[in-house]
Structure formats: C-alpha cells, structure tokens
Amino acid sequence: MNMRTILHSDLNNFYASVECLLDPSLQGCPVVVCGKKEDRHGIVLAKNMIAKKAGVKTGMVLHEAERLCPGLKCVVAHHDLYLKYSRAVRRIYLEYTDQVEPFGIDEAWLDVTCSPKCEGDGVKIAEEIRKRVKEEIGLTVSIGVSFNKVFAKLGSDLKKPDAVSVISKENFKSIVWKLPASDLLYVGRATKEKLAKLNINTIGQLATYKKDILLNKLGKWGEVLQQYAKGQDVSPVRKYDEREELKSVGNSITFYRDIKNDDDVFALLILLSESVCSRMKRAGFRYASTVELYIISDKLERTLRQMHLSAPTNLSGDIADAAFKLFKKHFSWDKGIVRGLGVSVSGFTCEQQIAMDDMCGQREKKEKLEEAIENLRNRFGHDAVNRGIIYTDQHMLDIDIKGAPSSLSSEVATANPLQTAKY
C-alpha cells in the first residue's frame, strides 16, 4: 500500500472565533461563549485564546470565569451560525478531495493522497487551505499533516493558532513519543489512569511496552492503542457523503440548577428516555438491548456506565428504569451533586424476546400507550402529554427535550460529551 497523505484540520477556538468575526468590538478582548444565564448560570461552552490564557476552562460556570478573567465578554451561543460557518469551511475542503470525514463541528480529516490539487503534496494543500479559510471565511485553522489519522490529529494540536505541522514516518518518534499518553486520540481519563498504573506516561512508553501485559490489563483496546502509538493506524478517511451504520442513539441535558436528589434524577431520566425512544423509532430501529448512562458532577467528573437488558425494549419506561439502576449503582450523593445526565441506547434488533409480561399482554398495552402518546405529541406538541413526575419542577416542563441536540453515533464519543445539551 502506498503511503497516505492525511490532513486533520481544526478550526481554532471555533465558537468564540465566529462570535468575534461577527462582532468586531470583541476583537482583542477575552471572550467566552456560554448558555443563557438563566440556564445553569451560564456554563462556559467555549473561550478564545485570551480567556484561555487567563485560566478560563470549558465547563466553568460564568461567575468563576469572570473572577479569573476581569473584563471577560460573554456571548450567548448561536449554534445555527456555527453550523453555517462549519459548512462553508467544509466546502473548501471538498475542493481538494471527496474524502472529508468530520470529527465534530470544527474538525475534519482529509485524505489528499490522490488529490489533483498541488499533485497530492500534503503540506502545499494544507498551507493553501489555511490561507483560503483565513481570507475567504475569516477564521483560522491549525492543520496536521501525516501518514495516518491519529498522527494527523496530533499534528493539528502541536501549533495553535493558524499553523501547519508535519508528522512524518521519519520524524514521528522524535515528535510524538515524548508527548503525554493522554494526548493520543481515544485515551480518555479512565484509560490514562490505567496506563499510569503501568508507569506508562508518554506515547513512546506505550509504543514500546510489553504487548502481553497491555492485553492482560486493557484487553484488545490496549493492543489497538499501542498500534496507534507506533504509527500503525490504518483506518480510512470516509467520504463526506458516506453514511456510516448507526450504532447508538442518545440525548443529554445540563439542567438549569444542580441536581441534588434521586427524584430529580429519575424525572430527568424519564424526559431523556422518552426523547431517545422517539429518536430511535424515527431512525428506523425497533428495539435496543443496551442502555448507557452518562453522569457529570459539579466537579466536572464524568462517569459512563452501561448495562445489557434482559430483553430488548422500545419502551421509555424500561430505558429510564435501567438508567436509574445504573445511577444508583455507580453514583453516591456523598461524592457531590449532579450537573448533567445523558442516556443512550444501542444493540439494535428487530426481534423482541418473550417475557412474562408479554404473555399476559402487559407489554403490548405499554407499547400501544406510548404510541398513542407519541401521536398526540406529534399533533399537538411535546407538552400535550407529560408524566406526573415532570410537574415537580416548572423548568422541566419548559425543557425543549425533543429539540435538544441528539447523539446519533456510529462510533464511541470521546470529547466533551456534554457540550451544551449534546451527549
């Protein structure tokens, strides 16, 4: 196989950069993009470089960010505008190759191995794209050029903003291997901790570690990560219009206040589960056999757990019950309070196993009831019918749970799973 030329392009401080582009008075000021102040006091969703240097971090509540950075300018997020600019930038990418694989709204991989532009020279193409995005769109990008997707992603992080970095077959050991293991794509907090217990702190240490021990401690995933560290990632860059098989459907929410008791948790899980069920059916799936729960605490600690159901289901009540069991098992209130929750389902099937409540017709009645509720909501709006538990807090009735961003995922989500209301 001929060596590939892969680019990873990352729009710098994307949300904040768009806001500064549209409002010149923000230029030169520390800027954060946040939710509405009445919704969780305005959580920081994004920040520009000036705010970042002052210590502002994504996920902070606004008053904390303002304390760290006097003179901070706060703007409310305009997701429709971010999508518009993201599409404009991707149109530039598509002039160089049809192999453009988005990685979130502000990042994308490009396979330019056979690009007729600049005769496939990755550095020339990257520099041309960087200049065009700046001149035609008004935003900046950092681009990594490499021979695989993982190292191209690493390359785009090396120099920010507005830069091109090259990681080649010849130089990757001197550049990549000295970086922290957590810089490697798909090494999250839990994996980082497991690697640290093995005294693996850099990518180079991961690359040269004994394979049998990695397999024993991390399973097959340990072997995959070691291949990434060695530069052996061979995953393809998908074509822009290529629809990958859907593997999970989910939704999440950051509530307007901290969640402090089981009743609030269960009410929100009901809302999320109803939304997930609706989306699952619209996506063409009949039943799901796995439920996954995502919890983020007030300390921004993230917990992700899943369970396999005794029988596949399409009932929101079953999904909520499973999610709540996961919550009770894996979260203790003495650890703190809850800031956000997410629910997703996977393991889709067209078949339904027969259980005891099926035999006496209970499941069929529940399915007909949920179908009737869905029909009423489609005709008269989501608020036409609500469960009694939702009326315990007026804000729950006001949540546009159906309109919140969904997670229709074909691969494991690894970055900022609770960015705005997205899971």
In the chain, ranges of CATH 3.30.70.270 domains: 1-168
3 state SS of 249? strand
Select from 3.90.1150.10, 3.30.470.20, 3.40.50.300, 3.30.1490.100 the CATH code of 248-409.
Answer: 3.30.1490.100
| Residue 106 pLDDT class (50, 70, 90 cuts) | very high
Per residue in 278-308, is it b (16+ CB within 10 Å) or e — as a string?
bbbeeeebebbbbbbbbbbbeeeebbbbbee
State mean pLDDT over 232-241: 90
pTM over 0.75: no
Mean pLDDT of 267-284: 84
pLDDT tens-place string over residues 145-188: 999 999 999 999 999 999 999 999 999 999 999 999 999 988 87
**Domain 177-229: CATH superfamily, name plus number:** 5' to 3' exonuclease, C-terminal subdomain (1.10.150.20)
* Residue 3: predicted pLDDT: 87
> Using DSSP, how many helices (H) and how many strands (E) does the chain show?
16, 13
Choice among 19, 101, 107, 292 that is catalytic = 107
- pLDDT given at position 404: 43
Three-class secondary structure of residue 54 per DSSP:
coil
Q: Give the span between the Cα atoms of 231 and 247, in whole angstroms.
A: 27
Between 176 and 370, the more confident residue is 176
Largest Cα separation within the chain, whole Å, is 69
Cis check: omega of the bond before 116, within 30 degrees of 0 = no
Nearest to 9 by CA among 122, 82, 106, 91: 106
Q: How far apart are CA 220 and CA 395, in angstroms?
A: 44
Instruction: Identify the residue with better confidence: 5 or 361.
Output: 5
- Checking if the pLDDT of 116 tops 60, the result is yes
% of residues, the chain, pLDDT over 70: 79
Long-range contacts of residues 19-25, Cβ cutoff 8 Å, at least 24 apart: 19/75, 19/78, 20/48, 21/138, 21/139, 22/81, 23/75
Q: Name the strand (E) or helix (H) holding 225.
A: helix 220-229
pLDDT tens-digit readout, 48-60: 999 999 999 887 8
Whether the per-residue pLDDT at 399 is higher than 80: the answer is no
Give pLDDT tens digits for 19-42.
999 999 999 999 999 866 555 446
Q: Tell me the pLDDT band of 422, cut-offs 50, 70 and 90.
A: very low
The ranges of the chain annotated as CATH 3.30.1490.100 are 248-409
Question: What tens digit of pLDDT does each residue of 187-214 get?
Answer: 877 788 889 999 999 999 999 999 999 9
Q: Is 244 a catalytic residue?
A: no
CATH class of residue range 1-168: alpha beta
